[in-house]
Amino acid sequence: MTQHEHLITQFYRAFQNQNYGEMQRAYHAEAQFSDPVFQQLTAAEVKAMWEMLLTSAQDLNVTFRNVKADDRQGKASWEAWYTFSKTGRKVHNIIEASFEFKDGKIFRHHDSFNLWRWSRQALGVSGVVLGWSPVVQNKIRQTASNSLKKFMTK
């Protein structure tokens, strides 16, 4: 196992254990994160995002596999099962993660998943009917961004 494969593995083990502190320590001070909901987050924002998500999670289950990395970049596949707190609906999200490293830490982290698939599960009928639309997807992003900003001001 390479150094960066070990880093990714430790990151996801911390995620499984809902240990946001260990996840936060995996990031470089100048890290950036993006996914279909949380876009272009700074290191401080991504660290707060994981803390916000994990401290509000009630029934989170995370699995990961296919960890591969060299001295510059890496990837992993992971899945999360949880109840979306705003609707009480069950979600099973399937994610592909890519990483770039700097100084032995995660420097760039990008998670890819199907936002329409997520919205169909999390939002129910409105997600099925309108979750594909840029208007609804932008509303999901704005709501998440506002939640993160509010969390960070506490």
pLDDT digits (tens, 9 = 90+) for 114-124: 998 999 998 88
Distance CA 69, CA 102 (A): 13
Q: Please indicate, yes or no, if residue 82 is contained in any of the structural domains.
A: yes
Looking at residue 154, its pLDDT comes to 85
Distance CA 154, CA 150 (A): 7
Q: Is the pLDDT of residue 84 over 80?
A: yes
Q: Please indicate, yes or no, if residue 43 is contained in any of the structural domains.
A: yes
Distance CA 115, CA 140 (A): 9
Q: Please indicate, yes or no, if residue 47 is contained in any of the structural domains.
A: yes
In the chain, how many domains are there? 1
Q: What is the mean pLDDT of residues 86-96?
A: 94
Name residue 78's beta-bridge partners: 64, 95
Q: Please tell me which residue, 58 or 70, carries the higher pLDDT value.
A: 70
* Domain extent at residue 70: 3-113
Q: Please indicate, yes or no, if residue 135 is contained in any of the structural domains.
A: no
Q: Please indicate, yes or no, if residue 134 is contained in any of the structural domains.
A: no
pTM of the predicted model, to two decimals?
0.93
Q: Please indicate, yes or no, if residue 16 is contained in any of the structural domains.
A: yes
Q: What is the pLDDT of residues 15-57, one digit of tens each?
A: 999 999 999 999 999 999 999 999 999 999 999 999 999 999 8
Q: Please indicate, yes or no, if residue 142 is contained in any of the structural domains.
A: no
Tokens 């599960």 found at: 121
Domain of 15, CATH number, reads: 3.10.450.50
Q: What is the mean pLDDT of residues 124-140?
A: 76
User: Hey, what long-range contacts does 20-26 have (CB within 8 A, 24 or more apart)?
Assistant: 20/47, 20/50, 20/51, 20/54, 20/55, 23/47, 23/50, 23/54, 24/50, 24/51, 26/105, 26/106
Tokens 């993160």 found at: 148
Q: What is the DSSP string of 87-106?
A: TTEEEEEEEEEEEEEETTEE
Q: Answer whether 101's CB lies under 8 Å from 74's CB.
A: yes
